[in-house]
Amino acid sequence: MIKQVAKILPVSRVTVEVTQFEDQVKRKTASLRDATQMTVPRWFVYYGIKEEWPNAKFTYGYITKNTRTRQGLAKSHRVDARWISGNPLAVSCGHTYLIKRVRRQNQQLHIATILKDGMHKANKAPK
């Protein structure tokens, strides 16, 4: 995702917000297996980002929320992005970029709903 953003915007610094999913799971359930399953991909992503951008910094959602709450700001992705970037007073240029990821394949070959002619529709997104 960072590479896609860097294609359209100048990236001079990378800061990634990660969540502490495993702590939430530990509080809600006794199962540590689910927490481990979320921790492994997080560290995989972490080391992948560090390989491409060695100076990348990481922050946590609770830090962003705490800062936003102390400042009395509304919850929005734009507000959070400004705090995470270290430029909380940045003024928007008025452009919004939307990068939408569309799944092309699915483990399920057909949609479960049967069409009028008795056939199953393929479960693939248009390219």
What is the tens place of the pLDDT at every residue in 71-121?
Answer: 888 888 888 888 888 887 788 888 877 777 776 666 665 566 777 777 766
Beta pairing class for 110-114 and 57-60: unpaired
**To the nearest whole number, what is the mean pLDDT of the chain?**
77
- Tokens in use for 92? 């928007």
The answer to whether 23 and 38 have CB atoms below 8 angstroms apart is: no
Task: Note if the pTM is more than 0.75.
Answer: no
Query: What are residue 46's phi and psi, to 5 degrees?
Result: -55, -50
Query: What was the pLDDT predicted at 46?
Result: 85
Angle of CA points 7, 13, 19, to nearest 5° = 100
- 117 CB-contact burial (10 Å; exposed 0-12 / middle 13-18 / buried 19+): exposed
**Structural domain spans, the chain:** 2-93
